Structure 1
Amino acid sequence: MKKKILVMFKFQCNKHEWSDDCYRFFLDESDQVIKGWFVKFNEECKDLVCKVYNQDGSFYFFEVKVSLYRPQLSSILKNISNVEYSGFEVDIDFLNFKKIVFYINDVVLATVSKNLPLLFVHVPKTAGTTINSAIIDLFGKDNSLVHVESKPDWADENKIKYIDFISGHHPYKFFMLYNFLKNFRKAISFREPYSHVISHLSWVRALSESGSESRFLNHPEYIKKLSLKLSNFDFSDPFSISKMIESLEDEEFRLFDNTQMRYIRSDISKKRVDEIDLNDSIENLKDFDFIGIDEGIEAFISTIYLSYGKKYNAKDSRENVLNNKFGFDIENEEIKESLQPLVKYDLALYDVLLNNKEKKAL
C-alpha cells in the first residue's frame, strides 16, 4: 500500500457549479485526503475529470473513479439506485503534486492546491507593472490574468482553467463581489501620496504630448479631454495647480481624489473620499496577506515569492516609469499644500501603513 504524505490542502471552489440538471458534485474540505462524491443523472452527462499539475510544470488528465461508500447519499438522492456508492478519493503523487483541478463538461468545479492563488489589487502608479511582471514570472503567463479591467469576460476564464494570479485596476470590494476570489490570497501596494498624485497627474498630462498620439487615441473621450485640459496649467506654480483642481468636473476629480484609498475603502460608490472611508480602509487592510509600499517594493515581491517557496531575483530597473513631471517639485512646500485636497486621506492612510510597518504588523 502506498504511504500517504501529510499535506495541508488549500481549496478554491466554484460551488455554484456543483449542482446541474445532469449531475451533483461535492468535495470534502479535508486537510489530508482529496475526496468527495459525484452523481450523474443520465448517461449523456460526461464523467468527472481531473487535471493534475506537477511541480515541474507538467500535467496529466484522468477520469475519477466513483465507487466508494457514502451512506448519507441515499437519504439525499432517494430515487437513484445504489447512489450511496458514489464517493471518490483521489490518489496522486503528493511529493510532485502542485494542484489538481476537477472538471465536468469543461467547467471548473474546484481546485485543490498546496498554495492558494493570488489576487493583486492594482492601484495605479504604485509599481504595479513591476509587480505584475514579477508575479507572472512566478506563476507563468498561462496561469495569470492581469489588467482584468480591460477583459469583460475575465471571471469566466477561471471556470474554464485554473488561474494562479489575477490582477487589475478594480477596487478591493469590487473584486470581493466574486465569491471565488474570497479564497485567494490578497496583495496590494501603496505609494507616498504626493509622489503618487504627481505621477498620476503627469501620466494623464503626458497623453496629449507630441509623440503620444497612439496612446492618446486609445483612451476614452473624457480622458482625452482631461489631458488637453491639464496642458493648460503650469504645474510649477502652486496657484495654477489649485486652479486646475477647482476646474475638475466630478468624473475627472474622482481620478485623482485620494486614489489609493478609493481602491481599499468599502463604499466604492461615493463621489468623494471622507473620514469614514479612512476608518474602514484601515479595517479592510486586515484582509490582505501582502501589503507593500513603493520604496520597499523588492522586499514586498520577495516576501510573496518566499511564501510560494521560490526566491526572487530582483531586476535592475523599474517598469512603466514616467520621468517628465511637467514642473512638479515634490520638495516645494507650497506645491504640496496646493495638492492637499487630492491627498488628505491618502496621507493619513500612508502614515498608518508606515507605523504598522515599523511595528512589523503588516
Structure 2
Amino acid sequence: MNILYKISIDRVNANYISGWCFHRFKPGRPVQLECYQDEQLRAEAEASLFREDLQNLGMHPTGKCGFEFVTEAEVGLDFTKPVLIRPKGKSTVLADLSRDDRIGSGKHIHSAIRRLILKKKKLPRTAVFMHIPKTAGTSFNTLAQSVYPKGTAISHIELLPQSKYSSLAEYYNYISGHLRLGSIQESFNSENIDLYTILREPYAQLESHLKWLIQTAANQENRYFEVTNPIIYNLGVKLGQVIFADKDSLTEFVGNLNSVEAAFVDNLQTRYFLDRQPERVALDDVETAMGNSSLFKLIGITEKYDSFVREFGELNEIAFSAHEKRMNISPSASLFDLNSGEVRTILLPLVYADLKIYRSIAQP
C-alpha cells in the first residue's frame, strides 16, 4: 500500500485499463498517471473522470478521480510481465497488474481485500443479487458495499472468469453481477446462497436501457465498451441514429432487430430468469421465467425500492442507515412518449413478457 495514493483497478484487458486513483492528502488535485511495460511508456491518463459511486460512499469528495488507459490495438499489454502504473514523472509504483487476479480477460487489484476477507466471519448463506440493468441495481450495490463489513461484498463479478464464481461464495457475504439465472445456477451451490433481484416497470426499464446504450457509445470520456465490447458499442451507435420520437422510425426499429441486438433489448428482464438465451422470447419462456422466480428469496421492484431495502435488511439481519440517493440515473431527455397508447403498442413486443413477470411480482 502506498501511503500517499489510493488506487483501485476495475477493468483491464490488453488494450484497456480503468479504475480510480487520488492523492490521500490532496484529493481535489487530479493525479497524472502513466502505464509502463518493459520500461516503455504505453499510455497516459488523468484521474479526473467522475465516479458517482465513490462520491456516494464518501470515499472521495467530488468523485472526480476515475481514469482509463487505452493502448494501441496492434501492440497489447502482456500480463505475464510487469505492467506498472506510476504517477507521472515518478518512479513510485502504484500498481503492478501482473501480480493480481484476473478480471475477464484482464486483472483486478484486490489482494489487500482478499487478506481482509480471510479475517472476516463468513455468514452461513451468501446473498447473491442478480443485477438486471436499469432497475436500481447500482444503487443497491453501493448501499450493500457500505453496510457489509469491508471486503465481504463484491459486485460486477461478470468481469471475472466464470471459473472463479464458485469460490466467491466461500469468502463473500454479498455477491452481485449482471449474471442471468442459468449462469448463477451453473456456478453456485443453491444450498449455500439466497437469490435476490429487482424488477422495474418494463416500459420505463426499456427506455432507460436504450438511453444507456446510446450514451455508452456517445461517451468519449469512457471508451471501455468501444475497446472491449464492440457489440454493445455498435448497438449504441445504431440506436443513436434512430429517431425514436417518430412512430414510423420506432416501428422499423422494433421490427428489424437481429438476434444479437434482441439479446439486449427484447424482454431483457425475462431473459435474466431463463437458463438459456432464445433468439426472441416466446410464451414458453414466460412460463419458465415465472416459474424460476420462485427460486428467489426476495424480488423487489424499483418503484418500491425502499421496501426492498428494508426487507433485504431484515432477512439478512443488516441495519441499513438512511438510504443513499438513487444512482446511475440518466439525465437525458425521454426518447419517446410513454404516455402514448400508440407508442406503447409499438413497443409491446419488446416488453410483453416482462410485463407478465413484473405484474406477478408487483401485484401478487
- State TM-score, norm by structure 2: 0.62
Q: CA deviation at 1:156?
A: 5.8
Match in the other structure for 2:186: 177
Work out whether residues 122 and 173 of structure 2, in 8 Å CA contact, stay in contact via their aligned partners in 1. Answer: no
| Distance in 1 separating the partners of 2:131 and 2:288 | 19
Q: CA deviation at 1:204?
A: 0.6
Work out whether residues 128 and 194 of structure 2, in 8 Å CA contact, stay in contact via their aligned partners in 1. Answer: yes
Q: 1:333 is matched with which residue: 310, 328, 341?
A: 341
Could you say what secondary structure the match of 2:330 adopts?
A: coil
| Distance in 1 separating the partners of 2:222 and 2:295 | 41
Could you say what secondary structure the match of 1:188 adopts?
A: strand
- % identical equivalent positions: 26
Q: 2:164 is matched with which residue: 143, 150, 154?
A: 154
Matched AA of 2:137: G
Rg (Cα) greater in structure: 1
Matched AA of 1:229: K
Decide whether aligned partners of structure 1 residues 154 and 217 sit closer, same or farther in structure 2, where only a CA change above 3 A counts. same
Matched AA of 1:253: A
Q: CA deviation at 1:123?
A: 0.7
* Residue 287, structure 1, aligned to residue 295, structure 2: yes
Q: CA deviation at 1:292?
A: 0.5
Match in the other structure for 2:208: 199
* Residue 246, structure 1, aligned to residue 255, structure 2: yes
Match in the other structure for 1:33: none
Match in the other structure for 2:286: 278
| Distance in 1 separating the partners of 2:153 and 2:132 | 18
Runs of 4 or more off by more than 4 Å in structure 1?
A: 111-115, 210-213
Work out whether residues 119 and 181 of structure 1, in 8 Å CA contact, stay in contact via their aligned partners in 2. Answer: no
Work out whether residues 155 and 176 of structure 2, in 8 Å CA contact, stay in contact via their aligned partners in 1. Answer: yes
Q: CA deviation at 1:298?
A: 1.4
Decide whether aligned partners of structure 1 residues 182 and 324 sit closer, same or farther in structure 2, where only a CA change above 3 A counts. farther
Decide whether aligned partners of structure 1 residues 283 and 216 sit closer, same or farther in structure 2, where only a CA change above 3 A counts. closer
Match in the other structure for 1:133: 142
Work out whether residues 121 and 172 of structure 1, in 8 Å CA contact, stay in contact via their aligned partners in 2. Answer: yes
Matched AA of 1:135: A
Could you say what secondary structure the match of 1:123 adopts?
A: coil
Q: 2:241 is matched with which residue: 226, 232, 238?
A: 232
Decide whether aligned partners of structure 1 residues 237 and 182 sit closer, same or farther in structure 2, where only a CA change above 3 A counts. farther
Match in the other structure for 2:41: none
Decide whether aligned partners of structure 1 residues 212 and 340 sit closer, same or farther in structure 2, where only a CA change above 3 A counts. farther
Match in the other structure for 1:42: none
* Residue 311, structure 1, aligned to residue 326, structure 2: no
Could you say what secondary structure the match of 1:187 adopts?
A: strand
Gaps of 5+ in 2: 1-114
| Distance in 1 separating the partners of 2:150 and 2:346 | 42
Q: 2:309 is matched with which residue: 294, 301, 321?
A: 301
Decide whether aligned partners of structure 1 residues 156 and 171 sit closer, same or farther in structure 2, where only a CA change above 3 A counts. closer
Matched AA of 1:264: F
* RMSD (Å), alpha carbons: 2.5
Matched AA of 1:126: T
Q: 1:167 is matched with which residue: 167, 176, 181?
A: 176
* Residue 343, structure 1, aligned to residue 360, structure 2: no
